[in-house]
Amino acid sequence: MGKFILKRIGLACVTVFIVTAAIFFMTHILPGNAAERILGPFAERSNVLALEKELGLDRPLHVQYFNWIKQTLSGSFGNSVQFQSPVEGVLFPSMLYSLRLASLAFVIVVPLSIIGGVVAAINRGKLIDRVITVGGLSAAVVPEFVWAVVLVLVVGVKLEWLPVTAYPDDGSNIATVFGYLVLPSIALVLVLFGYISRIARAGVIEALDSDYARTAILKGLTKRQAVNRHVLRNALLPTIAVIASQVPYLVGGLVAVEVVFNYPGFGSLLLTSVQYRDYPILQAGVLVVSVVIVGMQLIADILFAVLNPRIRQKVSE
């Protein structure tokens, strides 16, 4: 198990390095730069060149990249171009807001999807199975921002059940914060539910058709008892991988949802950073996202190994 974990950590580090290098060079291919954005389209060329030198944008890209790596390893992401302050002071508060929203969405969608998939599998071919699978997939094909707009117009404006923004006043209690985050969380849940529940359903059906599950049922266990005692452990293996793989889609969905609900989160910050060519925030944000995604995949791999000893055996051979 230790060898397996070390190997996965090494691959994760290599992946993060490749992703950050690719994003660093791709962001500098974008037309225009931070100096032009700060000074405006009518600034004199000499002033633009002077500001580029001050910001270090006149150096070769590979030099800028390695300088950024050294600076990051020292614990600093540099200064934001648009906010004129350390990147950490801007990035981390927005990350906390997005983490709050993403965590609520995950806490809702993961158990809901697994329960939905298990219920659909146990009732395969029945009406409830069709409702869960067809309804979930139908909801998943609609983009997050469309669901966000629909929820704002119907639940927020028409019915006035919940706030149409996701940003409560400072000092609000937990209940108030939760009320503000419900609508944007639902927009994310609707998109993620269909895919996760479908994989959970397929895993449970495959496990129910296996010899050990049939033997358990023939010995007198009900289908529900067989699922609880024998099926779920093996059936949820593909679901774990799917849940980990949904993190990139969740990050992408956060951008759209945060814009619709005027939420000051990580996604909105990255969007404005692209518009302002704020390379320090953009690069630091991409680094954080890549670490989170690779970290979630690493956790999924380790859980796979814990639940399935055959994976550990293959690594040790």
In a domain, 125, yes or no: yes
Confidence of residue 40 (pLDDT cuts 50, 70, 90): low
| Residues 168, 124 within the same domain | yes
| Residues 164, 230 within the same domain | yes
Instruction: State the CATH number of the domain containing residue 154.
Output: 1.10.3720.10
Mean pLDDT of 211-227: 78
In a domain, 293, yes or no: no
| Residues 54, 133 within the same domain | no
Reduced DSSP (H G I as helix, E B as strand, rest coil) percent helix, strand, coil of the chain, to 5? 80, 0, 20
| Residues 99, 50 within the same domain | no
pLDDT of residue 30: 62
pLDDT of residue 260: 85
Place of tokens 């994989």: 199
In a domain, 300, yes or no: no
Which domain range does residue 269 map to?
Answer: 95-277
| Residues 120, 187 within the same domain | yes
pLDDT digits (tens, 9 = 90+) for 147-171: 888 988 888 888 888 887 767 666 6
Nearest Cα neighbor of 235 from 106, 121, 110 is 121
| Residues 46, 182 within the same domain | no
| Total structural domains within the chain | 2
Confidence of residue 129 (pLDDT cuts 50, 70, 90): very high
Confidence of residue 112 (pLDDT cuts 50, 70, 90): very high
Geometric angle at alpha carbon 86, from 264 and 291, rounded to 5°: 70
pLDDT of residue 130: 92
| Residues 29, 105 within the same domain | no
Mean pLDDT of 205-231: 78
In a domain, 130, yes or no: yes
Place of tokens 């974008």: 30
Q: Which range has the worst mean pLDDT, 152-156, 231-235, 271-275, 284-288? A: 231-235
- What the block records as the tokens of 233 is 């452990």
| Residues 41, 170 within the same domain | no
pLDDT digits (tens, 9 = 90+) for 287-315: 888 888 788 778 777 776 776 666 555 55
Cα–Cα dist 221/159, whole Å: 47
pLDDT of residue 131: 93
Nearest Cα neighbor of 267 from 97, 149, 32 is 97
In a domain, 235, yes or no: yes
| Residues 111, 47 within the same domain | no
pLDDT of residue 299: 78
pTM: 0.73
| Residues 268, 204 within the same domain | yes
Q: Kindly report the average pLDDT of the chain as a whole number.
A: 79
| Residues 23, 123 within the same domain | no
pLDDT of residue 38: 63
- What the block records as the tokens of 184 is 């944007």
Mean pLDDT of 185-213: 86
Mean pLDDT of 53-76: 77
In a domain, 240, yes or no: yes
pLDDT of residue 25: 78
| Residues 69, 100 within the same domain | no
In a domain, 81, yes or no: no
In a domain, 85, yes or no: no
- Close Cβ partners of 158 (under 8 Å, ≥ 6 residues apart): none
Q: How many CB atoms within 10 Å of residue 160?
A: 9
